[in-house]
Chains A and B, each alone.
Chain A
Amino acid sequence: MDEPEAKIRVTTPDTEQGHSLWSDAWHRLRRNHLALGGGILILLLSLLCAFGPIFSQSYEEQNLDLGAVPPSLQHWMGTDVLGRDLFARTLYGGRISIMVGLVATFVALTIGVTYGAIAGFIGGKTDAAMMRLVDILYALPFAIFVILLMVFFGQNIFLLFFAIGAVEWLTMARIVRGQVMAIKKMEFVEAARALGLGRRRIIFRHLIPNVLGPVIVYTTLTIPAVMLLEAFLSFLGLGVQAPMSSWGVLIKDGSEKMEEFWWLLVFPGALFSLTLFSLNFLGDGLRDALDVRASKD
């Protein structure tokens, strides 16, 4: 008698291809629709601000008779007190704000994460000295620092990035240091050490990816803070000069007139908020994607 054919299909399992952290993360991110939405929105906004002004009206052409009129077909976002098209001004302002936000935050991020990771990992006296330096820089008066910068380097807009970066990296360093100290005693670090990996490798390839979670969250909060800080700096004379503007300045000016000319606040504010929300959801997605311990289900 013939033996019944085994109904069990034996399959050779696919050998799991070794994925790097980053490609893993990318795949996971792609599946997170909310984060993708956020990312796309940011991209769209950036493109709008970068190229939109080519097609829009002039941001500085004044029409004093059309001062502060509400949104209309001719001026989608209305005009400001000098009759300038708010839509154009918001787009131009977006260029400045997004650029400042991204660049300054990137600077702060790079310095802060590296500094904090080194301090946290090495610990001991080095950590103490590094953190005391952070304390010192924190306590120095910011307005005076900025005015001094302008005295020595002029009212250069690139100084803006430096001034903001110089302030924002401090909290980042503290957060990273705290995180690193929390995880450096974990088994995987011991394992890496046992394997004989050098300190630099441990810090950059093992520690930092694991502390990225809070860092990403804090970064998405830093970018809008940077945009508003830019408005304070323009008050001191650093930053974009009139007639150019930025979201921070538009929002500040608009807030003083918000009862009478609500569009001056609402539109730049809405775009600012939109950017912020997108950044945050993108950030959340990134955080989820990079979370090495997240289950694959």
Chain B
Amino acid sequence: MIRFVAVRLLQTIPVIWVIVTATFFMVRFVPGGPFTAERAVSPEILRNLQAHYGLDRPLWRQYLTYCDSILHGNLGPSFKYPTRTVNEIIAEKLPESIQLGLISLGVALVIGLPLGVLAAVKRNTWVDYLCSSFALVGVCVPTFVMGPLLILVLAIHFGWFNASGWYGPMDRVLPSLTLGLVYAAYIARLTRGGMLEVLSQDYIRTARAKGASEGRVILKHSLRGGLTPVVSFLGPAIAGIVTGSFVIETIFQIPGIGREFVNSAFNRDYTLVLGTVLLYAVFLISMNLLVDVVQVWMNPKLKFE
């Protein structure tokens, strides 16, 4: 397994390099730049601003300078917020997003897994329909509807929570519930599907025939195989959830990094775009690696290749 992980880590280097390079050039070709503003900027000012940020040098030169600075761990100054560097922005905001993401993930797993398992075990009974329907609520009510709905009912009508903000522990509840319900739906449905695949296998039949209790059948024998699709899905899903959700962070006023993914693109804040992309790539690759390792552990027939 060590060899497997090591090889994968080596592979990440070219992957990250391609991502950074592609993104670097992509943002430069999009119309509008960091200084495109409503008020026309005079050519002199534009020249000076570009000189300050090194944008007046040839593109390949800028690229090499940027690669060099990344290797030294410096992601550059933000274009939109002149006194802050990308490193600072990420350092401030990432922890909040991770916090929100992990709690939401917890909510999603706590709700989704049992619902999915139950639905699979009691397939085609009213239990199945109830669980599946409940899970589907997370998909058919989008976050930008669920969020305000929860706020209106729980925060404004009952007054149990703040309408927005990220001040104390209570403020974690509504956003993570909103975000968690969506992922719960996916987890529940994929779990149900995966479990159904496994539950109809012969070895399950054997276990039942040998007199294993239903609980044992589920937990000991089926869960590992049944969760395969969920685990595949969770790889990129976790990377996504901890790097924040733009919608949730906007509705609930959370100072997370999720907003910056979208806003940096809209502001053409080149360095911040690259910084957030790099961040996401690192998370994504780590999570995919983790997921692949877990897949092998869960399914002994697989081997590390």
Contact = CB atoms under 8 A, between A and B. Distances in A.
A171 B231 contact: no
Interface in B126-156: 129, 132-133, 136, 139-142, 144-145, 148-149, 152
A148 B136 contact: no
18 contacts: A140-B277, A144-B23, A144-B30, A148-B26, A174-B232, A175-B233, A182-B302, A185-B301, A214-B229, A217-B190, A221-B139, A221-B189, A265-B145, A269-B141, A269-B145, A272-B140, A273-B141, A294-B200
B231 A273 contact: no
A259 B139 CA distance: 21
B283 to A, nearest CB: 9
A interface SS class? helix
Interface in B34-73: none
Interface string B177-211: 00000000110011011101100111000000000
Given A213-B193, A277-B133, A284-B132, A136 B18 contact: yes
Interface string B1-17: 00000011001001100
A216 B18 CA distance: 32
B262 interface: yes
A255 interface: yes
A291 interface: yes
Interface in A190-239: 213-214, 216-218, 220-221, 224-225, 228
Interface in A249-297: 251-252, 255, 258-259, 265, 269, 272-273, 276-277, 280-281, 284, 287-288, 291, 293-295
A214 B225 CA distance: 12
A141 B132 contact: no
- Tell me which of B124, B193, B273, B280 has the highest count of chain A C-beta atoms within 10 A of its own C-beta: B193
B160 interface: no
B305 A124 contact: yes
Contacts of A213: 193-194, 196-197
B23 A141 contact: yes
A136 B197 contact: no
Interface stretch (A46-54, A92-100, A127-135): A127-135
B266 interface: yes
A148 B29 contact: yes
A140 B19 contact: yes
A67 interface: no
Nearest to B301: A185
Interface string A43-79: 0000000000000000000000000000000000000
Given A214-B197, A276-B136, A295-B200, A178 B145 contact: no
- Tell me which of A138, A177, A216, A218 has the highest count of chain B C-beta atoms within 10 A of its own C-beta: A138
